[in-house]
Amino acid sequence: MCLIVFALECHPKYRLVLAANRDEYFERKTISAGYWPDNPSILAGRDLQSGGTWLGVTTTGRLAAATNYRDTKWHVENPPSRGLLVAEYLSGNMSPPEYLENLKTRSHRYEGFNLLFGDHSGMYYYSNRGETENIVSSGIHGLSNHLLDTPWPKVTAAKERLLAILNKNPDASEEYFSALADETPFPDDTLPDTGVGIKRERFLSSIFMTSRTYGTCFTTLLIIDREDGFRFVERSHDPQRLSSTTAEFSFMVQKS
């Protein structure tokens, strides 16, 4: 149940600063971030079960990220993987508005999802579980497993931490990783009721989570400057959180 916080058009040096945790069952096989052999313009991790991804960018300046929408009441029979939407946008050539309209016609085939996507022209957001504004405005935003900027405690806390880093030391990668490394659950009386029970809500409430079978697998930092320079830093975590591996990639957008 992932968490994404980002600052869009909030800093004089950076067009976008995004930090994200990817939470998943540890048994689900994935590949850490890298350039895809079958499409070298894509930089992302990869889900080996479906072939999709949760967050990625391209050397041409496209970016996309997805989270699940937590919903115990609405299920779809034999849905495609939601991670394929991220891969589809990254590998395609539709403009963000074109992709948005295309997605609206078939989003009912998927389980609940949130999708952030865009390029140099702007950032877009779509969920198949609620009517919202599709063009993302400038500001500090957060997304977990409900609609964009739903004030779940961890979303609100992560947004506040992101803003503090931007105001103090926006170039310090470790500040972002530290901000998203907090395992402290939030008080029960502040948590949403999404139908999974209070014990599960409590576990899922923390910014960083870990258990024997499920938890935060990757933390990613994406910074795009105003010259279209991309900096992509990913930290992978082992299930017991005893060690981590960090990889960093930088490139300038290839102009068409």
* 241 has a pLDDT exceeding 70: no
Contact 60, 42 (CB under 8 A): no
Span 69-80, average pLDDT? 90
What local confidence, expressed as pLDDT, does residue 152 receive? 98
**Nearest one of 124, 145, 149 to 16, comparing CA atoms:** 124
Fold type of domain 3-151+212-252? Penicillin V Acylase; Chain A (3.60.60)
What local confidence, expressed as pLDDT, does residue 71 receive? 86
Look-up: residue for tokens 């395609």? 92
Contact 107, 183 (CB under 8 A): no
Kindly state the helix (H) or strand (E) to which residue 219 belongs, with its residue range: strand 214-225
Residue type, 25: Y
Q: Where are the domains of the chain?
A: 3-151+212-252
The dihedrals phi and psi of 113, each to the nearest 5 degrees, come to: -150, 160
Pick the more confident residue, 241 or 201: 201
What local confidence, expressed as pLDDT, does residue 122 receive? 96
**pTM as predicted:** 0.96
Pick the more confident residue, 63 or 73: 63
Give the confidence band of 232 by pLDDT, cuts at 50, 70, 90: very high
* 72 has a pLDDT exceeding 90: no
Give the confidence band of 254 by pLDDT, cuts at 50, 70, 90: confident
State the DSSP string of 23-46: EEETTS-EEEEEEETTEEEEEEEE
